[in-house]
Protein backbone atom coordinates (compact mmCIF):
# COMPACT_ATOMS: atom_id res chain seq x y z
CA UNK A 1 0.00 0.00 0.00
CA UNK A 2 1.38 3.38 -0.98
CA UNK A 3 0.56 6.01 1.64
CA UNK A 4 1.74 9.59 1.19
CA UNK A 5 4.14 10.65 3.93
CA UNK A 6 1.93 13.58 4.96
CA UNK A 7 -0.75 11.07 5.96
CA UNK A 8 1.57 8.96 8.09
CA UNK A 9 1.57 9.45 11.84
CA UNK A 10 4.65 11.02 13.32
CA UNK A 11 6.25 8.78 15.92
CA UNK A 12 6.83 10.49 19.24
CA UNK A 13 10.44 11.10 20.20
CA UNK A 14 11.87 8.65 22.71
CA UNK A 15 14.90 10.55 23.97
CA UNK A 16 14.02 12.50 27.15
CA UNK A 17 15.78 15.63 25.88
CA UNK A 18 13.81 15.47 22.64
CA UNK A 19 10.60 14.98 24.60
CA UNK A 20 11.38 18.02 26.73
CA UNK A 21 12.03 20.15 23.65
CA UNK A 22 8.89 18.81 22.00
CA UNK A 23 6.83 19.68 25.08
CA UNK A 24 8.18 23.22 25.11
CA UNK A 25 7.58 23.70 21.41
CA UNK A 26 4.06 22.25 21.32
CA UNK A 27 2.62 22.94 24.76
CA UNK A 28 4.46 25.98 26.12
CA UNK A 29 5.27 27.67 22.84
CA UNK A 30 8.78 28.15 21.56
CA UNK A 31 8.45 31.91 21.23
CA UNK A 32 9.18 33.54 24.58
CA UNK A 33 9.30 30.08 26.15
CA UNK A 34 11.62 31.20 28.91
CA UNK A 35 8.99 33.61 30.23
CA UNK A 36 6.08 31.29 29.47
CA UNK A 37 7.52 28.24 31.24
CA UNK A 38 7.18 29.61 34.82
CA UNK A 39 3.61 30.73 34.06
CA UNK A 40 2.85 27.36 32.47
CA UNK A 41 4.10 25.57 35.58
CA UNK A 42 1.68 27.55 37.77
CA UNK A 43 -1.42 26.41 35.85
CA UNK A 44 -2.83 23.10 37.10
CA UNK A 45 -0.26 20.73 38.56
CA UNK A 46 2.52 20.63 35.98
CA UNK A 47 3.29 16.98 36.64
CA UNK A 48 -0.29 16.05 35.72
CA UNK A 49 -0.12 18.12 32.55
CA UNK A 50 3.15 16.55 31.42
CA UNK A 51 1.92 13.05 32.30
CA UNK A 52 -1.28 13.58 30.28
CA UNK A 53 0.75 14.89 27.35
CA UNK A 54 3.06 11.85 27.47
CA UNK A 55 0.03 9.57 27.58
CA UNK A 56 -1.47 11.28 24.51
CA UNK A 57 1.82 10.72 22.70
CA UNK A 58 2.01 7.16 24.02
CA UNK A 59 5.57 7.95 25.07
CA UNK A 60 7.20 6.14 27.96
CA UNK A 61 8.99 8.70 30.10
CA UNK A 62 9.03 10.05 33.63
CA UNK A 63 7.12 13.37 33.81
CA UNK A 64 9.41 14.58 36.60
CA UNK A 65 12.42 13.96 34.38
CA UNK A 66 10.87 15.97 31.54
CA UNK A 67 10.08 18.86 33.91
CA UNK A 68 13.62 18.78 35.30
CA UNK A 69 15.08 18.86 31.78
CA UNK A 70 12.96 21.87 30.85
CA UNK A 71 14.04 23.62 34.04
CA UNK A 72 17.65 22.89 33.03
CA UNK A 73 17.01 24.41 29.60
CA UNK A 74 15.92 27.65 31.26
CA UNK A 75 19.06 27.86 33.39
CA UNK A 76 21.68 26.45 31.00
CA UNK A 77 20.50 27.74 27.62
CA UNK A 78 19.11 31.19 28.29
CA UNK A 79 17.68 32.70 25.15
CA UNK A 80 18.75 29.86 22.89
CA UNK A 81 16.36 27.45 21.23
CA UNK A 82 17.87 24.04 20.45
Q: Are 19 and 61 in contact (CB under 8 A)?
A: yes
Does the residue 19 lie in any domain? yes
Give the whole-number percent of the chain exceeding pLDDT 90. Answer: 44
**pLDDT score for 75:** 85
Does the residue 37 lie in any domain? yes
Query: Alpha-carbon torsion 58, 61, 62, 68, what sign?
Result: negative
Angle at 33 between CA 58 and CA 11, to 5 degrees: 20
Range of the domain at 31: 14-75
How confident is the model over 24-62, as pLDDT tens digits?
A: 998 998 788 888 899 999 988 999 999 999 999 888 899
Does the residue 18 lie in any domain? yes
Q: How many domains does the chain have?
A: 1
Average pLDDT over residues 6-14: 63
Check pLDDT > 70 for residue 8.
no
Record the pTM.
0.77
Does the residue 5 lie in any domain? no
Does the residue 23 lie in any domain? yes
Does the residue 81 lie in any domain? no
Does the residue 43 lie in any domain? yes
Amino acid sequence: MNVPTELMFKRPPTDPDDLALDYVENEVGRFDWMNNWPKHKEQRPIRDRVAAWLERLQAQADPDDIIRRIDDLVTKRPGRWR
